[in-house]
Each structure stands twice: as structure tokens, then as C-alpha cells.
A and B are shown apart, each in its own frame.
Chain A
Amino acid sequence: MAKRLTRLTVEQEAALGPWADAWIAKALAPGPVDREQVEDGMRRCYEYAGIPWHGNVVWVDSPLVVGFAGPIAASLLKDEAVDGAVGGAIYGAVGGAVYEAVGEAVRGTVYGAVYGAVGEPVDGAVDVAVREAVGEAVDGAICGAVGEAVYGAVDGAVDVAVGGAVREAVEDNWYRYIGGMCWAWWTAYISYFRENTDLDLGEMWDRSRAYEDANQAGWWWPHRDFVIVSEKWSSTPQLEQVGERGWGSHRLHSLTGPALSFPGWDLYYVHGVRVDEKVVLRPHELTADDVWAATNQEVRRTIIDQMGWDRFVSEAGLTLVDECADPGNPGHTVSLYDLPERVYDEPVRVVLVDNATVDRDGTRRRFGLTVPSECGSALDAVAWTFDLDPGVYAGLERAT
């Protein structure tokens, strides 16, 4: 049994990709989870952290409830929530300790001198292939969104709904959770070494199993006297892959329903931008007023994309600056409009062009491209989008 890993075998390297894939699939799979396994894992985590196990586990439907209920319950127990919350202590004793032990065992200075010529550092290979791959597909894409949504709800609702000490308790403590399957990057990375190599970290492996079991569900908010834990998402999160494995690889996206669902809490996303249900399910009901009502520019642009630029341009009463025949697209017109500054930070115009090829529904999609306000004519504008001289673009022979 090895105390330190200096290289991966061919078989171990070959296992990296499938390991990441299996963990991504496991993490994305919807609940319900095996609650006994989770609660037993929590008990063992408390023991490793030296905190007496209370046995009080409250299951709730979503991380939104966790974010509110944990701090509120703590504050109702006449306790300063920050003192009673033990998430940090548990992560430190179990999650953090194991992570550090694995790190020390697979990195280290001896490695560089002796085995530097052999190949990639073990940690680097596993880190990129497993931890980043799983982390970005699950944590980066979904759990960042969940955190923002909970934070948004806390920020928006608490002021109105509750007062005084409870408000402070929620605002200051909602984030003292442990991520459950949101943090699958941890279990994927750690369990890779545990299950695929002969690295011997003794009791640390037992701690890792406890933490892994406890994190099979959703967010959990551990307190000295209770745990509030969320079920996993109730259907598989809808993701689109926008890059290679690693940083920024996935984002939430669905044009047919919620991209992320918990019982009683549906979240809608278009290309990673959170929007109201109507934007996704009933885009034909969208109006220019919905665009102006949105407080965030990304959301405004997403609403415009969903309602269609041509409809937005006419409903918002934008001013036509210029029109010309579309080069290479006979019978079609390019139109340039002024766009109010409320959509972008700077003065911008939008040029509307018809697709040069018929779309699946037999029509030609008319879409808008934003251009700098310096573009004085429709031809200038469409030429700018390709960084071409307008005179050159006018000679376009064929467009598809």
C-alpha cells in the first residue's frame, strides 16, 4: 500500500474520463435519495468533528428552504446562529482534512526531482480530468445558480417578510451550508484515489466515506442541535455544454420547461441566464414592457431574443435609421434601428437581417445584431459585423 502516489499507471489514467462521467451522471440524477445512508453519513461526520450527534434531521424540499429554515431555526433556539452552525467545523474536520491528506500524498517536492521526467503530475492529471470536469458540469453550472437564486430570494424577500433578529440571522447565515451533490467534485476527486489506486491514507478513507454518504442529497445546514437537509433536484437538470471539460463547460438551459426543479421551486434558464417562467414557456405573451421591467441587461437581452428582435423593434417603437437591400440575399432588406440606452450601457444600434436560408418552419428568421452607434447606414452596420469595408460587403456574391 502506497503512502504517496508518484505516478498513475496506464490503467489508472484510462479510468479518469469514465470516473468523471460516472460522477457527473450520478450527481445529475434526480432524487429521492437514500435518506438512511445520508443521515448515517452525517452522524459519522459529526463524530469525526467531535460534535455530539443529535439525531435531529429535518428533510425539506429545496435549498431555498434550507437557506431560510436553517438560520431561522437556529435563531428560534435562542442561539446566535453563527455559534450553533457547525458546517465550517464539519467541513474542516472531514472534507478539508481528507482533501489536504490526499493533496499531500499526491503532490510533494520529492516527486518533482525524482519522477519529473515520467509524465504529468498525478494531481494535475486527476485534478483536471475529474475534479474540474465534475465540478464545472455540476457545481459551476448548477450550484452557482442555486446559490444565486437562494441569495436573491434572501435578499429580496427577507426585508419585507421578516424583521429584526430573524432577518439578520438569515442574511448572515444562509450560506453556512455543505453542498451535498452540488459538491460532487469533492467526492469524485477523493474517491478516485480511494477506489482506483493503492494509496493508503488509513482513517482518512473512512472520513471520506462518511462525507461522501452525507453529501448524497442536496444542501445541508448542520447545527449543534439539528440538521436541515434538502432533497436533490426532482428531475435531471437541463444543461447545455458550451466548452471543453473544465472551467465554464456547462450552463443551465431549457426552452421547454424549468432547467432546474425542486418540489415547489422551479427555476428557468436560457443559456445560463435566469428568467421568469413566462420568458421560457409563453414567449408569445412577452411585450416590450417585460424587457424594460427586467433589471439586468442580460435578462433584457434574453427576453428580446425570446420575443424576437423584429417584434421587439416594432412594439418598442424603435426609430428606423436606414434600410438597404441585403447583399447576397436577393429580395430581402437590412434595417438599422436606434436602440434605447436602457438595453446596453452605451449607445448602440441594432441591424435586422433575414436568414439567407429557409428555416425548418418554412419561414426565414429575422434576427437582430447590435452594432456601434457610429454605424450610419444599414450597409455600414452589416459590414461592421464582419469588420469589412461597406463597399466590399456590397459585392457579396452568395449568402446561405
Chain B
Amino acid sequence: MGFWHFILRRLLFFIPVFLIATLLAFLIIYYLPGNVAVAILGDHATPESVQKLEFELGLDQPILVQYGVWLGGVLRGDWGNSLYRNVPCRDIIMRRLPVTLELVLLAMVWSSLSGIILGIVSVLRPNSAVDFIARLISMLGQSIPNFVLGIMLLLFFSVKLGLLPTYGFVSIFDNPLRAFTTLLLPIIAAGAPGMAIVTRQTRSALLEIIKEDYIKMAFIKGYSKWEVIRRHALKNALIPVLTVISLSFITAMGGSVIIENLFVIPGLGQLVVDSLITKDFPMVLGIILTNIIVVLLANILVDITYKFLDPRIEY
């Protein structure tokens, strides 16, 4: 089976994943106690007012009819209106998706680069002070929850030193300098767990590979350790690292909820929390649909990168 055939199959796989994921989410929201009518009426809901609103919102319809109406709309390009806020779901999601993607991708760039560099440094000087520090940073990154790290960074750099703003979002495409000041801390916090995993993965993959015969041969040829890693070991070591990075992308998309809340970044994270609380199912399903598309595209991108790193991989 050819590579492009494989990619096509991946794309077709989208259909069942989309149907199963959205239907499952819909069923969960539907069968949990309470619904968006209760959330809208809140503190002052009476059984009668809830019933009236359920009728107005179509929540009294059979479950498959409700899902069918939503699905039919999506197929026509209409993602429906938020039941809680009466605004078109797709408009809000599409305004917020680039924000989350920018945050997550920048966090990934930072975590991947710093992780790979730390991994290499620690392999160059195993069991040295540098290796110890690299491993310590990696352990801290993994063990400190990112919202705790975020608060610590805010307290030190924003509150204590007054160097960076405490909240906000400016896109790097609008104003790179201001984007740097507003996004630096969120990116460090969001990328810390990824950085830790990439460091460990790079280190262990490199340590494994430099035991291989072809690496020993390179040493015999007289290359320095750095040269050997750069020319021969790194590319092969990067394949498992790439898998870790792609997984950390998916984790980071989910983890953005906390970072976005803490740094007041108007991304999908905040939106999904609120929509779940209020049981606003068109919005939740719209976000799930978006996430499926993003993850699918990310996976395809990773597959293409695998192919580039190791052309021998068969599909």
C-alpha cells in the first residue's frame, strides 16, 4: 500500500471518528442530569419555566431527532447557534481556534527545541553536572502541574519584577514584540510538561543509539561525540521523539484549558469549559468536530514527517 493511499485512508477514517465522537458526546450531555434550559434559567428556574424553555430550544424532541438536526446542519455548513448565548457556534470557534493553535504550536516549538537541546547536552556529558541539571529541569517540568508553574511564573515575573503583563493575548502576526511579552509565560507554562518528556525521550533514544555498531564505527573514524550525534545518531533518535511530540500536541490542546483560563487567553479552552458547564451541546459538538479535524491533520503531518525522516517506513 502506497503512502498516499495510507493518507487517503486516514482522511476517510475521519467520518466514523466524527460520527462516533459527536454522538457519544451528545449522549453523555443528554443523559447527564440537567440541561441547557436549567443552566440558562439558573437560580430562578421553576419546573414550568424549564419546560417552556426546553420546548423553545427543541430540547423536548427525541434524542436522535436533536442529534439529526445538528448533524444535518453541519453537513450543510451550519453548525447551529449556541443555545446558551444565541451566537453562531462556528463563528466563535473559528475566532478562537487560531488563538489556541498559536499558543499550542508555540509551546510545542519551545518544548521540542528546548527538550531536544537538553537531551543532547545531557548525552554529551553523561552523569556530569550539566546532565544532572538537564534531568532536574526535565523532572520539574514533569512533576509541577502547569497551572502551578504558570502562577509561579506570574508571581515572579509579573507581580514581583513587573516585567511582563499578567494576562492578555496578542498574536505574533499582529505585533510580534507585544506577542512576545504576553505569550512568553503561557508558552513556558504550557510547554513545560512536553519539554520534560522530549528531554527524557531524546536522552534515552540517543543513549540507546550510540551503542549501535554504526555509531561505534563513526567514533572509530575519529568524529567527535557532537559530530557523531549530529551526523548519525540524531536523525534516527528523532523518530520516537517525534511520536512523543505529536502526542504532546494532543495533550497540549487539552491542557490549554487551564493555561487559557489562567492567562485570560481567548482560546477554545475557556469556551469548552463554559459550554460543558452550561450543557450547550451545539457548541461542545462544534468544538469536538474542530478538534477532530485538527488532530487528524496533525497526525497526517506527523506521518509525512516520518516518511521524510525515514524513507524506509512502509505503510
Chains A and B form a bound pair:
no
